[in-house]
Amino acid sequence: MLNGKAVKLWVVNIASFFLFVLLGMTGLINWLLLPRGYETRDRSLISLRHFFRDVHKWVALGFIIFIAIHIVLHWPYLKSNLRKYRVLK
């Protein structure tokens, strides 16, 4: 049976992975598929590019928050290893 901390770590890891994949997908779609600038006649593609750019920014913020939570949940392990290698007194 998993304890509460293990469940939290599992949820944070799954959410981080999902956000990382979404971050990569929105970045690649924006970079490779959608037109840059205003030289296109079809304004819907430019609007779609702006939408993906906004989604990319918000997903990046969520990813940073989940990575911070991940570090906080692993802090005792990190602290013990830093002490072991005399980086942290």
State residue 50's pLDDT score.
85
For 10, 70, 79, 80, 86, the CA distances from 83, given in Å and listed in that order, are 26, 20, 6, 5, 5
Q: Over 80: is that where the pLDDT of 64 sits?
A: yes
From CA 11, how far away is CA 6, in angstroms rounded?
A: 9
Q: Which range among 9-18, 23-32, 52-61, 73-82 shows the weakest confidence by mean pLDDT?
A: 73-82
Q: Could you tell me the residue range of the domain that residue 61 belongs to? A: 4-84
Structure tokens at 80: 């013990």
Amino acid 45: pLDDT: 65
For residue 34, the SS3 value is: coil
Reported as a pLDDT band with limits 50, 70 and 90, residue 40 is low
Asked if the structure places residue 89 within a domain, the reply is no
Tell me, yes or no, if the pTM score tops 0.85: no
Domain count, the chain: 1
